[in-house]
Amino acid sequence: MECKNTGEILKIKLAGFNPNQKRNKDGTWGDGGKNISKFENEIRNNKKETAALYDKDGNLILIKEGNLSSVSFNMGELVQMRGNTLTHNHPNGLGFSRADITTSLQTGLYEIRAVGKYHDYSMKFKTDFLAYRRQYGTGVWADFKKAYNDSNFIARGKTDDWVQGKWDTGLTLKDANLFRSHTHMTELAENTEFGQRMLIYRRD
Ligand SMILES: [Zn+2]
């Protein structure tokens, strides 16, 4: 796969149906997981961010190159995200940014993934924000903001404790940042009401 650094979307034709392709047991076509992990291994160690959007069957919808710390999307790209999986690389190797989660919520992604030097990160969304409001009758953004800030606060405290306990082990700032970003997302997904309703977080 070749990505030119133009910031343009490289649209991939989806229509080329292979008549020999067999349907999976779950009803999907092809081997989506394999496509995504192949792409992730290609971008994992890049110095700039690149993102790709896949549908539930693992078909590539679009690829976009960004800069050192972000990829920007226009409206036409954002509307294609609903129900699909967006993956990208994080050159710093850390977990999800706030923008990663808000973009996912705004566009109704099924899953956002980030890969880097140390880990693969995944956040899945149990429902979209319209369904959230119907079900819980509260403001999804206010709930998100509070949950994000509360879990960030707790993650800071846990990171301080963790660093204190390892002070003489040659711990680096990178180690502390990895611990903190992982703890933040774990707290957000598992220990806030919003996260329990909406989020499934995983780090491999
Ligand atoms: Zn990101």
Domain range holding 155?
A: 128-204
CA–centroid distance, residue 128 to ligand 1 (Å)? 19
pLDDT at 60: 94
pLDDT at 18: 43
Q: Look at 21 and 130; give whichever has higher pLDDT.
A: 130
Shared domain for 95 and 8, answered yes or no, is yes
CA–centroid distance, residue 97 to ligand 1 (Å)? 5
Q: Look at 21 and 73; give whichever has higher pLDDT.
A: 73
Is pLDDT above 50 for 14? no
Q: Is residue 149 part of a domain?
A: yes
CA–centroid distance, residue 100 to ligand 1 (Å)? 5
Average pLDDT, integer, range 147-176: 91
Q: How many angstroms separate the CA atoms of 42 and 13, rounded?
A: 20
CA–centroid distance, residue 106 to ligand 1 (Å)? 15
CA–centroid distance, residue 123 to ligand 1 (Å)? 11
Domain edge (last residue) among 94, 125, 156: 125
Shared domain for 194 and 165, answered yes or no, is yes
pLDDT at 50: 92
Shared domain for 154 and 85, answered yes or no, is no
Is pLDDT above 60 for 52? yes
Shared domain for 51 and 83, answered yes or no, is yes
CA–centroid distance, residue 96 to ligand 1 (Å)? 5
**4: pLDDT confidence band, cut at 50, 70 and 90?**
very low
Q: Is residue 115 part of a domain?
A: yes
pLDDT at 125: 94
pLDDT at 26: 52
Whether the Cβ atoms of residue 123 and residue 86 lie closer than 8 Å to each other: no
CA–centroid distance, residue 20 to ligand 1 (Å)? 36
Average pLDDT, integer, range 170-196: 95
The half-sphere exposure of 16 on its side-chain side, counting CA atoms within 13 A, is 4
Residue 121's DSSP bridge partners are 114, 203
Shared domain for 169 and 105, answered yes or no, is no
Task: Report which of 54, 52, 60 is spatially closest to residue 88, judged by C-alpha positions.
Answer: 52
CA–centroid distance, residue 33 to ligand 1 (Å)? 19
pLDDT at 185: 98
Phi, psi of 133 (to 5 degrees): -65, -40
CA–centroid distance, residue 50 to ligand 1 (Å)? 10
Q: At 203, which amino acid appears?
A: R
CA–centroid distance, residue 161 to ligand 1 (Å)? 26
Query: CA dist 155 to 164, 202, 204, Å?
Result: 14, 16, 19
**71: pLDDT confidence band, cut at 50, 70 and 90?**
confident
Whether the Cβ atoms of residue 120 and residue 203 lie closer than 8 Å to each other: yes
Percent of the chain, pLDDT > 70?
A: 84
CA–centroid distance, residue 23 to ligand 1 (Å)? 32
Q: Tell me the two tokens of residue 23.
A: 């349907």
**3: pLDDT confidence band, cut at 50, 70 and 90?**
very low
pLDDT at 29: 46
Q: Tell me the two tokens of residue 70.
A: 């972000």
* pLDDT tens-place string over residues 92-126: 999 999 999 999 998 999 999 999 999 999 999 99
Q: How many angstroms separate the CA atoms of 133 and 125, rounded?
A: 14
Q: Is residue 21 part of a domain?
A: no
Shared domain for 35 and 102, answered yes or no, is yes
CA–centroid distance, residue 71 to ligand 1 (Å)? 8
Shared domain for 79 and 143, answered yes or no, is no
* pLDDT tens-place string over residues 194-204: 999 999 999 99
CA–centroid distance, residue 178 to ligand 1 (Å)? 14
Q: Look at 26 and 74; give whichever has higher pLDDT.
A: 74
